[in-house]
Chain A
């Protein structure tokens, strides 16, 4: 068996895969944040909590209603997305005309409340969620063992990210969204219902977070804090990629996951901080982010 730089391939590719998995979650979550930031101009601090809600809804579907993983993958984003629509209509809309800092405070407060409620109801030790039977086991690729579920997570995230990119960049609906992001007043003056688009966009961004939560449920335990731990890294990813850039958040998400994984192989001590070091460097050299437009 060959070795790369003195690292056994099992370890190397294992970490590459882990990096891609983490990158999948970074990509979907930062994509949702980017979509929301683009149109609403708020940094959605509730995003991590909404990711956690996705995982919990999947867990509840299975344990209370006997609804399986595949149905939950569809249902949880719809349910959590609907709560997002309610949050936008009842709360965020009311502060849309004041400084964006209030949006940040509001969504941060909401995140704490939601996490607190789930911690109260389910404790913080975590609940198990089984890998669906269709995706148990794995493939021996010769140089590494590839668990089926992990391959599925990477493929599913990539597909959802690319579909979202296509929707926004290549369709008529996406053109409305980009127009409303760039000049909401004029877009409205063409007869397009911008407030409705704002609501649906927030719901869609939240649904993406919930989708990531369902994907995560069988890998990490379903835990009220799972979002809070992840979201800090995701914000760093968003800063590196550039706020509001769709393709930028996808590429940066996967790329940074990969870099993090490789750091674990070559210099494990830095693996927890490498993303933040990159963030500092990017902020120094290109403050608008790698893919952000200068304002």
Chain B
């Protein structure tokens, strides 16, 4: 019962924030399983167009699984995921991608059997309005110099840039980024922060999974706290300072 009331409380501020405009992404009662293991127990949240929202939480809370479920990568899932007015819970991941969702997986997913250029050009264009290669090279000048290298010969930071760059071409309007700062040097993390801010200013909507809430605070509009497969709280970024003790409690830091 407690979790239910918290869930409702958590969902309503999100819904309120998005009340003026229809949410681009709306999750209701999303559940997912790895084999027999029940990982998500009913995730609810909304993301308004143009927002940057983070999912915060401890390891194993279900953040990555939430992104995978939105993307349709989880084989067994139920509940409701509505993107741009369309229910996607029954769709295979390739159809979900084609609606305009770009995915940067945990550990970046750079293909070692593909060159940097092939990695960059791999995701097909799914909607008009993606960034041109010139625009991408302006954002990520390193990539342009390394086009002929093998994808996994890049540094971790460059691989992360490449993983983000390749979904910007596709015309996807919602970007799902899974721990883009993991294992990277502070100077690279700053660069990724600037990139995310830039993408937001260009109108992209972003859902970000982060362990590093200090980084999250520099880029996000709102934070959803995930625990044991549920969203247990929503904290607007402006109120993060006031709620910092609570957040520390959630994250166990």
Contact = CB atoms under 8 A, between A and B. Distances in A.
A178 B97 contact: no
Interface string B114-154: 10001001111010000000000000000000000000000
Contacts, number: 64
Summarize B's interface: helix, strand, loop or mixed.
Answer: loop
Interface of B: 71-73, 92-98, 103, 105, 109, 111-114, 118, 121-124, 126, 167, 170
A176 B122 contact: yes
Nearest to A169: B113
A182 B112 contact: yes
A191 B114 contact: no
Most chain B CB inside 10 Å of its own CB: which residue of A176, A178, A191: A191
B124 A175 contact: no
Contacts of A192: 94, 122-124
Contact of A182 (B98, B113, B121, B170): B113
Contact of A191 (B73, B94, B112, B113): B94
A190 B113 contact: no
Contact of B97 (A179, A182, A191): A191
A186 B92 contact: no
Contacts of A190: 94, 97, 103, 122-124, 167, 170
A198 to B, nearest CB: 13
A186 B109 contact: yes
Contacts of B170: 190-191
A172 interface: yes
A225 B151 CA distance: 45
A193 B94 contact: yes
B210 to A, nearest CB: 20
A191 B105 CA distance: 14
Most chain B CB inside 10 Å of its own CB: which residue of A183, A187, A189, A192: A189
Contacts of B71: 189
A191 B126 CA distance: 8
Nearest to A194: B94
Most chain A CB inside 10 Å of its own CB: which residue of B93, B95, B170: B93
B144 to A, nearest CB: 19
Contacts of B72: 189
Contacts of B118: 175, 178-179
A192 B72 CA distance: 13
Contacts of B105: 186, 189
Given A175-B121, A176-B122, A179-B122, A189 B112 contact: no
A10 interface: no
A181 interface: yes
A197 B170 CA distance: 20
A213 B89 CA distance: 46
Most chain B CB inside 10 Å of its own CB: which residue of A175, A183, A193: A175
Given A189-B73, A191-B94, A192-B94, A183 B121 contact: no
A9 to B, nearest CB: 44
